[in-house]
Structure 1
Amino acid sequence: MIPALHDLVSALRPYDELEAAHRADTLAWLAGTDDVRRRVKPATPPRHLVSYVVPVDPGTGDVLLVDHRNARLWLPPGGHVEPGEDPAATARRELLEELGVTGAASEPVFLTVTRTVGVDAGHTDVSLWYVATVGRDEPLRADEGEFAAVRWWTRAELAAADPARFDPHLGRFLAKTATAAR
């Protein structure tokens, strides 16, 4: 068990029953192993830790998502937590590597356990979701090898879009963060 990760996950307050189940599952996983970081692409070990970082424009609340080539979905930027790396540091690193911007990401606000789809399908990502304040006017330097497109979405556009085009938990994340912002 990795005590710091256990404490981080324990501190999360679930939004709904599914996040509570994901939290309980993750805590049981963490209690049984310290092998939580991906060592070999795409799936060694078959369950590993990921940090998502959701850029949110502070003025509009719009959300930046990337059209991920491997997953074939619109996702938040993010990636696998490297050995010895803190998940918040992963979120900041991925934001810089994937979009060329910096943003504060200190504590996760959401947790999901998801079976991957797309080119690298078949393993399980345990994802800590962070929020980063990034203005729509900030210049982006997108990783074109990893992303087919990058775009800002209004909350109304996301609500009207086909949910099958996105991470399956994005709607719940948006609901949780909207509730927390009130």
Structure 2
Amino acid sequence: MRASVGVVRELVTGVVPWDEVEAEHRSATLHWLSGTDDVFRRVKPATPPRHLVSYVVPVDPADGSVLLVDHVNAGLWLPPGGHVDPDEHPAETARREAWEELGVPVVAGLVGEEPVFVTVTRTVGIDAGHTDVSLWFVLRLDRQHPLTLDSGEFREARWWSPAELRDADPARFDPHFTRFCAKLQRMHC
């Protein structure tokens, strides 16, 4: 097994599933990782057709608000994030994406070096049809922190309070985002 894939396998093994769906996604991801080293996207948008993504979810520790971006390609409000480069540690991807997409330099702030959530999702939008195996990292970030958005990828960004997220149509977000929020509340990040 490629060393970087072994690292990803260890990260996924360490995720404690929130619910049955996450347990299924974790199990499917571990099965996939044990059967191939071809887990990093090599060619946009979908080669190989299943590949790794790191989400970095900014959370304001003062009030639990979450920063989401209106993603041009997906047509959804999503956490910032992107594809894990070949042999890149997924936590490094999360830090890189925070810088590239938000202008937030991340030296510290990730809750550990481990993802807190794992999902397997068929993509939608312009590049629909491939599968993202997503590792979700939490970034503690004060909502007053200045942002420099990647205008090529996002229409806008906004902070969503826990109440706004509960009241919003779940179809506006990643299909697993509501479950992620429930897990996040339990974690008290």
TM range, smaller chain = over 0.9
Provide the residue aligned with 2:60 in structure 1.
57
Q: What is the aligned-residue RMSD (CA, Å)?
A: 1.0
- Distance in 2 (CA, whole Å) between partners of 1:143 and 1:134 is 18
Letter in 2 for 1:30: L
Letter in 1 for 2:59: V
Assess if the C-alpha contact under 8 Å between 2:50 and 2:133 holds in 1. yes
- Distance in 2 (CA, whole Å) between partners of 1:142 and 1:4 is 30
- Of the three residues 133, 137, 141, the one matched with 1:134 is 141
- Distance in 2 (CA, whole Å) between partners of 1:35 and 1:81 is 12
Deviations 1:62-110 (A, max 9, x none): 1000000000000000000001210000000000000001333221000
Assess if the C-alpha contact under 8 Å between 2:70 and 2:157 holds in 1. yes
Ranges of 4+ aligned residues in structure 1 off by more than 6 Å:
none
- Distance in 2 (CA, whole Å) between partners of 1:69 and 1:100 is 18
Is the aligned partner of 1:7 residue 2:14?
A: no
Aligned-pair identity in percent equals 66
Provide the residue aligned with 1:25 in structure 2.
28
Provide the residue aligned with 1:173 in structure 2.
180
Is the aligned partner of 1:85 residue 2:92?
A: no
- Distance in 1 (CA, whole Å) between partners of 2:146 and 2:14 is 34
Assess if the C-alpha contact under 8 Å between 2:71 and 2:155 holds in 1. yes
- Distance in 2 (CA, whole Å) between partners of 1:180 and 1:73 is 25
- Distance in 2 (CA, whole Å) between partners of 1:156 and 1:58 is 15
Gapped runs of 5+ residues in structure 2? none
Deviations 1:125-152 (A, max 9, x none): 0000000011111110000110011000
Is the aligned partner of 1:118 residue 2:125?
A: yes
Give the secondary-structure state (helix, strand or coil) at the position aligned to 1:127.
Answer: strand
Assess if the C-alpha contact under 8 Å between 2:7 and 2:89 holds in 1. no
Give the secondary-structure state (helix, strand or coil) at the position aligned to 1:135.
Answer: coil
TM-score in terms of structure 1 length: 0.98
Total equivalences in the alignment: 182
Give the secondary-structure state (helix, strand or coil) at the position aligned to 1:132.
Answer: strand
Provide the residue aligned with 2:116 in structure 1.
109
